Chains A and B, each alone.
Chain A
Amino acid sequence: MFKFVVRRLFQLIPVLLGVSILVFAMMHLTPGNPAKILAGQGASAEAVANMEEEMGLNDPIIVQYGNFLYDAVTLNFGTSWKSGLEVSKEIGPKFVVTVELALYSTMLSLFIGLIAGIVSAVRKYTLLDVSIMIIALFGLSMPNFWLGIMLMQWFSIQLGWLPATGWGTPEQIILPVITLGTAGAAVVARMTRSSMLDVISQDYIRTARAKGLKEGIVIYRHALKNALIPVVTVVGLQFGLLLSGAVLTETVFAINGIGGLIVDRINARDFPVVQASVLVMAVVFVFVNLLVDLTYKFLNKRIDLD
């Protein structure tokens, strides 16, 4: 187990290197001169040239990448070209907001999705099952920005129950989390249902019943733990989608998260902030996957990680 974690941590190195090259290349290959943008509309050619020199934009591209990598490894992300603030201070609070949004949404997806999926499986082919699956299909096919706008329309504008924008108070959290969590809940519900149905027909479930266990214990102790194995994988795979969904949701609800920050700073060609943000998100993504693998291992005793 320990060996596995260490090995996985080492495997992070090539992944993060790849991400760093990609984000660096994308920023540097897209048209638009950051020095010009920074120097302002009416700046003289000379001022722009000075600015370029100061920002290191005239160094060979390899040197620029090397500097960026060195700074990243030493966790020194420098200062923002746009605001002049330290990059870590710029990203920090926004990063927390996005992670909160993603985390609460995942929790909502799991909570609703698991309950709905289990109920559907246990009551298969009943009206309840069919209704749950139809709702899940809707949840899955609705683009989340549209769902966000609809929720805002009803609950904020028409009913006035919940605030339409912002992040922080419990009231502000509800709509964005529903917006971002619905599709995930639908995926988890469908996956849980099919996985449960598969598991319930297994021989060991019959053994559990033959022992004289209550049906509830058969379902929760014997079926659910096995059924969760594929569900966990799906939740892990969904996490990447969740992050991109978070960016859209932040836009709809005017939430000051990392998504908005990245979009804003791409436009401003603020390389340090964009690069650092993308790297941080990549690290989060990779760690979540590690967590998923560990959960998987915990659930599935047949997998030997070492």
Chain B
Amino acid sequence: MSEEIILDIKNLQTVFRDEDSEVRAVDGVSFSLPKGKTLGVVGESGSGKSVTALSILRLIDHPGKVEGGEINFKGKDLTKISDKEMRSIRGNQISMIFQEPMTSLNPVYTIGQQIRETLKVHQGLGKQSGNEKSVELLKLVGIPSPEDRIKQYPHELSGGMRQRVMIAIALACNPELLIADEPTTALDVTIQAQILELINRLQDEMGMSVIMITHDMGVVAETCDYVAVMYGGKVVEYADVKTLFKDPKHPYTVGLLNSIPRHDIDVDELEPIRGSVPSPKDMPKGCRFASRCPFATDLCVEELPSLDEIEDGNEVRCWIYSDRWDGDPEVKEHGPKRTS
């Protein structure tokens, strides 16, 4: 990859510990994001997507802790900088929007107060100029009559409107990186499309880089340039979006793709992945997908495969692509099949 890399995560370890249990929610995640591009982070619920995102901004709450790895943002390791420096990055150079638009705004302050707050802390804008800028931002995210809206409280707005407000807050200081953690999951289907379109449009206009977290392959297809597929706290496949859809390598990725409805296949043929995500409290020692993988061998159960680059820019964590593969040679030859 010749492009400038804005975010490069290496072997991130985020662990939740209490007296008698240890949850390795993110266990050695690595991926990178070229400037101005969108990286999709996909995976079923519980695969560690949100924890990865919160780790980037150092927003992991007690008892969670980033215990290892590097998060290089514009060449600076975010795990090493001071709290003060981290605060100057949050909401300014890196912003985040969350999955829960209904509860992510403070119920006791007006929309205007909540936007102005960010403008004040990072740009020192006062009430007057802060209000003008807030109105501008609300206009930008497509909220009608913004002059009235800034005086309203969150409960007076619908979920879609609140998510737009969250986006306005996130964009207030022209961030270089926007992390969107399932920004549309809690919204109606029609609103979902509008919000995604809005994020796409603003990214083009402002030249931001975006991390789009989702469990929906459809969203990935529509918005992303690169994709990191996560399973059980690890990245199992990293590819550009074209390669991923055309030639998925990891059996889990194939499973995800087979379970999205497509107009060219009959709904009856949809194949949801059988079984469920292993509990992070007792992760299998081998490949974490082994219990659900149709190709699993003894090697898969015994030993964890590493994330290796098998083609230019295409990384996969699966024994099929190694010299030690001891299963069906047919699979190695043609790869795990997609239904279609």
User: Residues of A with Cβ closer than 8 Å to B?
Assistant: 201-204, 206-214, 222, 225-226, 299-302
Contacts and interface: CB of A to CB of B under 8 A. Distances in A.
Nearest to A226: B108
12 contacts: A203-B103, A204-B104, A206-B59, A206-B98, A210-B95, A211-B90, A212-B88, A212-B92, A300-B107, A301-B155, A302-B153, A302-B155
A213 B87 CA distance: 7
B214 interface: no
Contacts of B90: 209-212
Contacts of A301: 107-108, 153, 155
A202 B61 CA distance: 12
Interface of B: 54, 57, 59, 61, 87-92, 95-96, 98, 100, 103-108, 117-118, 121-122, 153, 155, 166, 169
A209 B90 CA distance: 8
B91 to A, nearest CB: 4
A214 B121 CA distance: 9
Given A210-B91, A210-B95, A211-B91, A203 B118 contact: no
A240 to B, nearest CB: 27
B106 A222 contact: yes
A201 B61 CA distance: 9
Contacts of B87: 212-214
Contacts of B166: 207
A225 B103 CA distance: 16
Nearest to A215: B83
Given A212-B91, A225-B108, A203 B155 contact: no
Contact of A210 (B59, B122, B153): B59
Contacts of B57: 210
Given A301-B153, A302-B155, A226 B106 contact: yes
B181 to A, nearest CB: 10
B73 to A, nearest CB: 14
Contact of A207 (B61, B89, B98): B98
A201 B57 CA distance: 17
B108 A300 contact: yes
Contacts of B155: 301-302
Nearest to A202: B103
Given A206-B54, A207-B104, A208-B106, 13 more contacts: A204-B106, A204-B107, A210-B57, A211-B117, A211-B118, A211-B169, A213-B87, A213-B121, A222-B106, A225-B108, A226-B107, A301-B108, A301-B153
